[in-house]
Amino acid sequence: MANLAPLLGGAITVSVGGALTYAVRAPSCAWLAPSVHRGVITRPAIALTFDDGPSESTAELLEILARHKAPATFFQCGTSVRRLPQVAREVAAAGHEIGNHSDTHPKLHFKSRAFIYGELASAQETIQAVTGLRPRYFRAPYGVRWFGLREAQQRLGLMGVMWTTIARDWKLAAPGIVARLLEGAGNGAILCLHDGRAAQPHPDVRGMLEAVRELLPKLMERGFHFEKVTDILCPTKN
């Protein structure tokens, strides 16, 4: 029996580590802070969400969305909103929803509670001052949650929003993005794309733009329509 102890100890360490990784990263896990990863499944609705903007390419994305009358939700970083305030205002003026994606796009794990609150609060203040909209939703940079996020969200009145399917559009070319998102499409799906790259200026998001151009008509042919995050979470809409 004695020689089993190290094995059991090892198994427990692995399982605690595995549980923490799950809590920090799994889109469907809400242990560290309340979050959703899918809307109601009673309507053929899809929420298109775009992270890391605003960027120099956001205007082109707004044109594509307008052409298809598709509302979307933009999870913006405070630092990018200060860099391109006019673009952030155009997103709001077009009727899209704006969410909080932190101020400077850090990974939140191993950060202090004060740091985490500061990131969310600065972005919240910037977005409201520039666009007039006060975000109700928060998407964690890299999907990484940590201790203290729950309290920060609570103080600021934010609900966490993860995703049903993520486009991997920072890596894949347009055909790969389209295939991935078509496979992930379903009632209430929250799709995650990027109109920026971690708050960097002049990001290359051409693959995403080409993919969205192709994807929207294909989803509509399949009978889906598009809703903002607020609407896709609401069971009594329509």
Catalytic site positions: 51, 194
Closer residue to Zn ion (CB): 45 or 54:
54
Sorted by sequence, the CB contacts under 8 Å of residue 171 that are 6+ apart come out as none
- Cα–Cα distance, 185 to 143 (Å, whole number): 20
Residue count, binding to Zn ion (CB under 5 A): 3
Kindly indicate which of the ranges 89-97, 141-149, 172-180, 217-225 contains the residues binding Zn ion, using the contact rule CB under 5 A.
Answer: 141-149
DSSP annotation of 38: B
Instruction: For the CB of residue 139, give the shortest distance to Zn ion in the complex, in Å.
Output: 7
Residue 132 backbone zone (phi > 0: left; psi -120 to 50: alpha; other: beta): left
Helix/strand/coil for 130: helix
Instruction: For the CB of residue 199, give the shortest distance to Zn ion in the complex, in Å.
Output: 8
Kindly indicate which of the ranges 14-22, 140-148, 207-215, 226-234 contains the residues binding Zn ion, using the contact rule CB under 5 A.
Answer: 140-148
DSSP secondary structure letters along 64-75: HHHHTT---EEE
Q: Which two tokens stand for residue 193?
A: 């794309």
195 binds Zn ion (CB under 5 A): no
- Cα–Cα distance, 119 to 101 (Å, whole number): 9
52 binds Zn ion (CB under 5 A): yes
51 binds Zn ion (CB under 5 A): yes
Please give the residue whose beta carbon sits closest to Zn ion in the complex. Answer: 51
Instruction: For the CB of residue 131, give the shortest distance to Zn ion in the complex, in Å.
Output: 18
Among 27, 54, 135, 141, which residue sits at the site for Zn ion (rule: CB under 5 A)?
141
Give the torsion sign (CA, 169, 39, 127, 96): positive
Closer residue to Zn ion (CB): 51 or 119:
51
160 binds Zn ion (CB under 5 A): no
Q: What are the helix and strand counts (H, E) for the chain?
A: 9, 9
Instruction: For the CB of residue 92, give the shortest distance to Zn ion in the complex, in Å.
Output: 19
Closer residue to Zn ion (CB): 101 or 228:
101
Burial class (CB in 10 A: 0-12, 13-18, 19+), 202: exposed
User: Which helix H or strand E contains 45, and what residues bound it?
Assistant: strand 45-53
Closer residue to Zn ion (CB): 141 or 160:
141
119 binds Zn ion (CB under 5 A): no
Closer residue to Zn ion (CB): 203 or 224:
203
Footprint of Zn ion (CB under 5 A):
51-52, 141
